[in-house]
Amino acid sequence: MGLRVVTLEQYTLGGTVANFPRSKIVMTSPMDLPGHGEVRLYQTTKSELLSLWKQVIAKNDIKIIENAKVEQIGKKDGQFLLSTLKGDTYLTNRVLLAIGRRGTPRKLNVSGEGLEKVAYKLLEPELIFGKNILVVGGGDSAIESALLLATENQVVLSYRSENFNRIKPLNDKTFKMP
């Protein structure tokens, strides 16, 4: 369409998926990727999915500026002025926000949540063993983290509801309440 586009990524390509634990199975559904075509994936690995995205980005010459977290969006002369934490600025006519949830995890506002032993990402569950662990949440990430950690640790899953309503069918089948 002849548009000039800049994509600012607060971390690196793949954001949420790139931060998945290595052994996590990525569950997705068929999709039509513009510039690539139909992708029929149901269960894959994070490395396969990231590889596919890199191929699509290279094939379509898409420019992504990584580690460019937007700190502020203001107005200047009838346009939007974006400022990043690094101090870079961008003047543009339009802004499309794609805000995920992993970049800014919800916290419980309890004492001790800033301690070093508290984690908001699980990258290498295979390196954690012999621990007493509390996983808080009732979504797929919490269920999958608890399952990955439970093989070598004592894990307690805390959730504010009696039932897990927001999880994928495979996680519901795999996870068994005691």
Q: How far apart are CA 69 and CA 85, in angstroms?
A: 6
| Among 86, 97, 84, 100, residue whose Cα is nearest residue 20 | 100
Domain extent listing, the chain:
7-92, 125-174
pLDDT tens per residue across span 69-97: 999 999 999 999 999 999 999 999 999 98
Which CATH number among 3.50.50.60, 3.40.50.880, 3.90.1150.10, 3.40.50.720 corresponds to the domain 7-92? 3.50.50.60
What confidence category does residue 135 fall into, taking pLDDT thresholds of 50, 70 and 90?
Answer: very high
Q: pLDDT over 90 for what percent of the chain?
A: 29
Q: What is the pLDDT of residue 71?
A: 92
User: Is residue 102 over pLDDT 60?
Assistant: no
Q: Do β-strands 70-76 and 64-65 pair in parallel, antiparallel, or remain unpaired? A: unpaired
Span 24-33, average pLDDT: 75
